[in-house]
Amino acid sequence: TTPADCRRQRQMCIRDSAGTVGVWVDNRDGIHHTFTIEGLDVDLEIPALKAKRVDFEAPAGTYDVICTVPGHESMTATLSVGG
């Protein structure tokens, strides 16, 4: 996934190298959200108007990031992890 692909799909793209991946998630909304990657067992809840960091192990590949709050099905991102 390239940055241009993400703009066309209206998605946020995150790129990192394989191994330990660290991501800061800044929730600027007045309600909580999640940063969830089911295939990697990542499920971070971010309170309203707060930021949190999550660190996890990820092999090379592409992963879907979702918000699991009901009604937030359109809140998605793509995580691309290099080799």
Give the model confidence (pLDDT) of 13-37 as tens digits.
566 677 888 888 889 899 999 999 9
pLDDT at res. 7 = 46
Close Cβ partners of 48 (under 8 Å, ≥ 6 residues apart): 27, 29, 30, 31, 32
Close Cβ partners of 69 (under 8 Å, ≥ 6 residues apart): 31, 32, 33, 34, 75
pLDDT at res. 80 = 83
Pick the more confident residue, 14 or 82. 82
Whether the predicted pLDDT of 53 surpasses 70: yes
